Amino acid sequence: MLGPPAGAGKRADLKGLFSGCKRSKMDRFDQLRTFVRVADLGSFSRAADDLERSRALVSQQVAALERRLGARLLNRTTRRVGLTGEGVEYLQRVRRILAEVEAADEAIMLTRERPQGRLRVDVPTAFGRHLLIPALPAFTRQYPQLTLEVQLDNRVVDLVAAGVDVALRVGPVGQGGLVARRIATMRLLTCASPGYLAQAGVPRSIEELRGHRCIGVLSPQTGRMRDWVFQRGRSRLRLRPACALSFNLPEAVISAGIADGGVLQTVDLLVGGAIASGRLRQVLPEHAADGPPISVVCLPAARHSAKVRVFSDFAARLLRDWSQRMHARPGA
């Protein structure tokens, strides 16, 4: 009986070795994804439910990752799971790696036509309430394989630390290392209620505002009153009126204005509906100035991602359509 050909045992050993290496790398990526879900959800049980795995398996994968690294990434207590200092740094690096892998997968699998998977979005509260949320049903019907997680936040979050794929930013993009696409520029409008104007008169010039009761917005960063900005010819004029009322939320400023509280200045996105319904009336429209820009930002690894692209286009379209409707209104 003939024995195995010469070298067959060696080839089998090599085959097993390479197979083991491939499986080890695949297991490593699975461990990384599991670690990220546990860190995001703050719980082994919730991560197990999200990943449709047993809690024991999720715990084993994270423990195996920590053994391989020789470092503890998570602090475990009976109530919650939190990141260690090393875990915070490692999580940021892992997010970048997984984002690169996911973008590469999408490019190879030609998913540009059918985006899929989880998309974490961070948007300013006003944009979310006034434009995004009403339009989301149509977006989710168009992309049924996309799972959207939306954060409404007026703070500037770190995309890596927060695990955000794409965000809308108002004003200059201060965080370095981001890819930014400007999609709109807001307008600063000065308004008051018809009731207040009937009582106090309509200001006919910027200087006349000094004789009016004004409502200001406090900056969340500095706590100081924000300047009002006007366009006068080719120059921009900034002033800080003496305000009888001031609030830290623009929505509160608008509510006070509708209640005949005085004159206010804010961006067109926030007051467009109140102007259209007649609850507020624009004053000094010839001095309306360009406000802060709105940009879509993402990490470089996600710039070619299908899901980031379709959401960026969707947000740009929402703002463009809203702007067209706004400027088509009489007196806008």
pLDDT at 79: 73
Which residue has better confidence, 327 or 208? 208
Strands 228-232 and 74-76: unpaired
Same domain, 73 and 132: no
pLDDT at 22: 45
Same domain, 157 and 15: no
pLDDT at 280: 95
**Number of domains composing the chain:** 2
Residues 51-68, mean pLDDT to the nearest whole number: 90
Q: Please check whether residue 325 lies inside any domain of the structure.
A: yes
Which pLDDT band, with edges at 50, 70 and 90, does 20 fall under?
Answer: very low
Which pLDDT band, with edges at 50, 70 and 90, does 2 fall under?
Answer: very low
Same domain, 232 and 141: yes
Q: Which of 63, 83, 103 marks a domain boundary?
A: 83
Length of the chain: 332
When mean pLDDT is compared over 126-135, 252-261, 267-276, the highest value belongs to 252-261
- Any idea what DSSP says for residue 226? P
Q: Please check whether residue 1 lies inside any domain of the structure.
A: no
Which pLDDT band, with edges at 50, 70 and 90, does 19 fall under?
Answer: very low
| 35: containing domain | 8-83
Which pLDDT band, with edges at 50, 70 and 90, does 106 fall under?
Answer: low
What's the chain's average pLDDT? 83
pLDDT at 96: 86
Q: Please check whether residue 96 lies inside any domain of the structure.
A: no
Q: Please check whether residue 94 lies inside any domain of the structure.
A: no
- In this structure, the number of other CB atoms found within 10 A of the CB of residue 93 comes to 11
Q: Please check whether residue 239 lies inside any domain of the structure.
A: yes
Same domain, 138 and 273: yes
Residues 261-265, mean pLDDT to the nearest whole number: 95
Please say whether the beta carbons of 308 and 122 come within 8 A: no
* 3-state class (DSSP) for residue 310: helix
Same domain, 17 and 147: no
Q: Please check whether residue 30 lies inside any domain of the structure.
A: yes
Q: Which residues pair with 184 in a beta bridge?
A: 294
Please say whether the beta carbons of 229 and 237 come within 8 A: yes
Which residue has better confidence, 254 or 29? 254
Q: What is the CATH classification number for the domain harbouring 287? A: 3.40.190.290
- Orientation angle between helical segments 85-108 and 8-41, nearest 10 degrees: 120
Q: Please check whether residue 104 lies inside any domain of the structure.
A: no
Which pLDDT band, with edges at 50, 70 and 90, does 76 fall under?
Answer: confident
Same domain, 124 and 59: no
Same domain, 33 and 148: no
Per-residue pLDDT tens digits for 205-254: 999 998 899 999 988 777 788 899 999 888 899 988 888 899 988 889 99
Which among 136, 113, 141, 114 has a CA at the least distance from the CA of 123?
136
Q: Which of 27, 62, 83 marks a domain boundary?
A: 83
Residues 263-284, mean pLDDT to the nearest whole number: 91
Q: Please check whether residue 165 lies inside any domain of the structure.
A: yes
Beta strands in the chain (DSSP E): 74-76, 81-83, 117-123, 146-152, 166-170, 179-192, 214-217, 228-232, 235-239, 243-247, 263-267, 281-283, 289-298
Q: What is the DSSP string of 101-142?
A: HHHHHHHHTTTTSS--EEEEEEE-HHHIIIIIHHHHHHHHHH
Same domain, 16 and 152: no
Please say whether the beta carbons of 170 and 294 come within 8 A: yes
pLDDT at 214: 95
CA torsion sign for 289, 152, 83, 177 is negative
Same domain, 147 and 13: no
Which residue has better confidence, 216 or 2? 216
**Res 10 pLDDT > 50:** no
Same domain, 119 and 267: yes
Per-residue pLDDT tens digits for 110-160: 545 578 888 999 998 878 888 889 999 999 998 888 999 999 887 788 888
One-letter identity of residue 287: H
Per-residue pLDDT tens digits for 168-209: 988 777 667 788 888 888 889 999 999 999 999 999 999 999
Q: What is the CATH classification number for the domain harbouring 57? A: 1.10.10.10
Residues 36-42, mean pLDDT to the nearest whole number: 89
pLDDT at 329: 57
Residues 94-117, mean pLDDT to the nearest whole number: 73
Residues 289-304, mean pLDDT to the nearest whole number: 86
Sequence-distant (≥ 6) Cβ neighbours of residue 308 within 8 angstroms? 119, 165, 166, 298, 302
Q: Which of 42, 64, 83 marks a domain boundary?
A: 83
Same domain, 136 and 265: yes
Same domain, 75 and 143: no
